[in-house]
Amino acid sequence: MSVKTEISRRRTFGIVSHPDAGKTTLTEKLLLYGGAIQEAGAVKSNKIKKGATSDFMEIERQRGISVATSVMGFEYQGKKINILDTPGHQDFAEDTYRTLTAVDSVIVVIDVAKGVEAQTEKLVEVCRMRDTPVIVFINKLDREGKDAYDLLDEIEEKLGLSVCPLSWPIGMGQDFIGVYNIWEKNLQLYTEQKKQKIGDSIEITDVMGDEIEQYIGEDYAQNLREELELVTGVYPDFNKDDYLSGAISPVFFGSALNNFGVRELLNCFVEIAPSPLPKPTDEKIINPHDSSFSGFIFKIHANMDPKHRDRLAFLKIVSGTFQRNTNYYHVRLNKSLKFSNPTAFMASKKSVVNEAFPGDIIGLHDTGNFRIGDTLTEGEHIEFKGIPSFSPEHFRFINNADPMKAKQLNKGIDQLMDEGVAQLFTLESNGRKIIGTVGALQYEVIQYRLEHEYGAKCSYENYPAYKACWIESGDDEQLEEFKKLKFRYLAQDKFSQLVFLADSSFSLNMAQEKFDKIKFHFKSEF
């Protein structure tokens, strides 16, 4: 197959939602239909009978939530699909925001009972800023929930999306009997009272005809006709160009747990979703069809396999072809690197790849060369833009709870901090270590992973900091004065950069006014 064909058949997308909307379950079912797995793990009421395929970290199985983005690839209808299942919890939003830089489109999952929730609003706002094409999947229709029209109004109002329903529910909750697929003009119905089994799709080209009544009865048929008439009158017709530009968002209804509406979603997705898109750098826009290889690191995961203590950097390929055992230029380090075992993903299962194409996400075994946002090229000096880094909002001292395991603790902290979900600061005054995170739940995850992956135990103490600011100054005299005055609040980050841990907004404002030749940056990449 030519490189052009390989690029055109790739679909790389993220699944985002508020926690508990059924995002991981939907991912499972997409994998099931794609033949990537034979059996789905049921995630119910946080008691996990079989771990969900995409939740491969032990803490995820225990808590029933996703705490790290996982990558899965499979083939479906001649297309190569790459799914990125993201954390829904706001304390892990940083991982999700970075992941959104590596996808070409997004599926947003909404719970029919809860409607649009806060975290979904934030994530969709990021998609809208980047004009990322969005498909909406309204989930859990087998439960009592909001009226379909009310949900569509809520999506338009709260998420700022212009919706275009491509399927429509027949009944809801106890009365839910199936879905009419507007996109493929067919009917999908339950075949049993227990609502666990789905029959074959029934082709219905004309809803207004009598044919539909023999399948769903007169009352349901009349109701469906009226609702579809209203839908086609109120909402715009589907237009692929409008979808690709982010102007309209197709909406599908279903129940991922019961496999309802998932195949329809997948069939439509592979047809309309964009193949890999161009990506801006500081120099120019890189097109996927450019022959020269380029890609960027959007995620690092320490300890993927506890037996080997390996660390993987996730590389999104933007242009050209990535070849195994080939030298590539690491722009930030200004040196060449060669990779003998680049891996493709199926959640925690990995397989070595010899070549990969734009849109693909591969794992590179890393001994400490990579940071999030790093660029690899064939020699060009470019850097990809828009990979966010956040200033921590929570700060805690980390203490060693087991003096015999000091070495393991240091190694664990060192590796976990490289993932970019938390930052390590060492106080200049006494050498104590402080961990800064965006969300408080990160501390629990770090503590759990240190114990279960590195055999080290830690405890925390609050550190009263308001903001971390990275310091840059061209005036040595003023910098020395600042260091003397603020010595108690100064620390070094993991890369030996000077950081001011301001204790309040007042003291930060005063420092900015008094030391006018010092620049205070709220992220380390300046």
Identify the CATH number of the domain in which residue 13 sits: 3.40.50.300
Q: Which of 206, 237, 272 is the last residue of a domain?
A: 272
Q: Are residues 91 and 217 in the same domain?
A: yes
Q: Which of 249, 272, 295 is the last residue of a domain?
A: 272
Q: Which tens digits make up the pLDDT trace of 249-293?
A: 999 998 888 888 888 899 999 999 999 999 988 888 999 999 999
Share of the chain above pLDDT 90, in %: 38
**Strand, helix or coil at 433?**
strand
DSSP state of 15: E
* 335 CB-near residues (< 8 Å, 6+ apart): 329
Q: Which of 344, 377, 410 is the last residue of a domain?
A: 377
Q: Which helix (H) or strand (E) holds 493?
A: strand 490-493
- Distance in angstroms (rounded) separating the CA atoms of residues 150 and 134: 19
- If we measure between CA atoms, which residue out of 272, 304, 253 comes closest to residue 22? 253
Per the CB < 8 A criterion, the answer to whether 276 and 204 are in contact is: no
In this structure, the number of other CB atoms found within 10 A of the CB of residue 77 comes to: 11
- pLDDT score of 46 more than 50: no
Q: Are residues 414 and 341 in the same domain?
A: no
Amino acid at 159: L
Range of the domain at 447: 394-521
Give the total number of structural domains in the chain: 3
CA 354 from chain center: how many Å?
26
Asked, for residue 196, whether it belongs to a domain, the answer is yes
Per the CB < 8 A criterion, the answer to whether 183 and 268 are in contact is: yes
Asked, for residue 414, whether it belongs to a domain, the answer is yes
DSSP state of 340: S
Asked, for residue 441, whether it belongs to a domain, the answer is yes
Q: Are residues 60 and 156 in the same domain?
A: yes
Asked, for residue 458, whether it belongs to a domain, the answer is yes
What's the pTM?
Answer: 0.76
Q: Which tens digits make up the pLDDT trace of 136-190?
A: 999 988 888 888 899 999 999 999 999 999 988 887 777 788 888 888 887 777 6
- Give the pLDDT of residue 51: 43
Q: Are residues 284 and 341 in the same domain?
A: yes
Q: Are residues 355 and 435 in the same domain?
A: no
Asked, for residue 12, whether it belongs to a domain, the answer is yes
Amino acid at 388: P
Asked, for residue 383, whether it belongs to a domain, the answer is no
- Distance in angstroms (rounded) separating the CA atoms of residues 503 and 210: 72
Residue 403 or 64, more confident: 403
Q: Which tens digits make up the pLDDT trace of 424-463?
A: 999 999 999 999 887 787 888 888 888 888 899 999 999 9
Asked, for residue 389, whether it belongs to a domain, the answer is no
Q: Are residues 366 and 420 in the same domain?
A: no
Place of tokens 């290889």: 293
Q: Are residues 149 and 166 in the same domain?
A: yes
Residue 37 or 370, more confident: 370
Q: Are residues 222 and 128 in the same domain?
A: yes
Q: Checking DSSP bridges between strand 361-365 and strand 422-427, what pairing results, if any?
A: unpaired
Place of tokens 């879905």: 179
Q: Are residues 208 and 349 in the same domain?
A: no
Q: Checking DSSP bridges between strand 249-253 and strand 79-85, what pairing results, if any?
A: unpaired
**Strand, helix or coil at 97?**
helix
Asked, for residue 382, whether it belongs to a domain, the answer is no
Q: Are residues 261 and 288 in the same domain?
A: no
- Give the pLDDT of residue 67: 39
Place of tokens 């008094």: 514
Q: What are phi and psi of 449, to 5 degrees?
A: -70, -35
For residue 456, give the CATH number of its domain: 3.30.70.3280
Average pLDDT over residues 122-131: 82
In this structure, the number of other CB atoms found within 10 A of the CB of residue 399 comes to: 13
Q: Are residues 239 and 335 in the same domain?
A: no
Q: Are residues 204 and 299 in the same domain?
A: no
